[in-house]
Structure formats: C-alpha cells, structure tokens
Amino acid sequence: MERQPKRIIQHAILDGVGPVSASDLLNAPTIRWELWRRMITDARQEKPSKDLGHCLMCGGPVYIRTKALKGKKRPLFAHFTGADATCPWFTGETLRPDDARAAQYHGQQESEAHRRLCNLIADLAGADRRAVRVEVDQYRPRPPTRSADIPMS
C-alpha cells in the first residue's frame, strides 16, 4: 500500500504560550521547543483528556514531534491519534509506541543485540552469590522526572 503524503500543521495554540506557527516552532531555541514538548507530553500523561496544544485549523489536540533533517532534530506539530481526518493539516495516525518498536525491530519489541546484552547482564548478575533473583523480561516503568522551572519570555 502506498503511503499518502502528510501535511504540515501550520499553526497551533499552546496553553500559556499562545499561537505558534510552524515557522516560529522551527526558529525557537531548542531549549524552548523541548520545554513546550515536555509540557504537552507531561500534561497528557498526567490526565489523558488534558491537552495543552491544539491545531488552529480543526481544534484537535497536537503534540511536538521531531524529524531528523541533515543530522539535526527539527520540531514539528503533529495531531494526536484519533484526530479529525478531514482537517486540511491532518498529519495521519500516529503509531502506538509498541507498534513503532515492533516495526523498527522486524516484529520484535527489541533488537537482537539488546536481547543478547540483557541475557549477558543477567548471567553476570546471577553469577554473584549474593543474587537472590534475576529477571530479564520484567518491565520497570521509568520513574517520573522533575523539570526545573524555566521562565519563558
């Protein structure tokens, strides 16, 4: 199946910031757009119905993703999954993280090298006589991070 071209969200409104154009986003210092990105993501993770960014065309929730261009991360706005497909700036459906990892690693959730390293570390840890139990496939969520208060101007 041939992929459909994706559109660019030209303008979004960020709560606490105001309207931001795609050009403003590209020209913003990295520290600023990364802060905006983190704010949007943190709010969404804290409360899935809390959206801090909205497309100015359809009003749907947006986030800031990055795309590599000439070896540099470039920010752009993208609709969250479930966005209005009739929006002229519709960016297509996003992949769930598990689906993205599966596509990246040919249907697996991790690379073969990662699996080998995990097993090697488990073997080394298990060789320590003080080890009580070694688990390789146990998922441990990342602890919440704290971000510094950075005034925006």
- pLDDT for position 2: 47
- pLDDT for position 44: 82
- pLDDT for position 82: 78
Q: Is the pLDDT score of 149 beyond 60?
A: no
Lowest mean pLDDT among 35-39, 75-79, 98-102, 110-114: 98-102
For residues 125 and 133, what is the distance between their CA atoms, to the nearest angstrom?
A: 9
Task: Check: pTM over 0.75? Answer yes or no.
Answer: no
- pLDDT for position 60: 87
The stretch 67-87 carries a mean pLDDT of: 82
On average, the pLDDT of the chain sits at 78
Where exactly are the structural domains of the chain?
A: 11-94, 95-139
Q: What is the pLDDT of residues 27-61, one digit of tens each?
A: 999 999 999 998 888 888 887 777 888 998 888 88
Q: Is the pLDDT score of 9 beyond 80?
A: yes
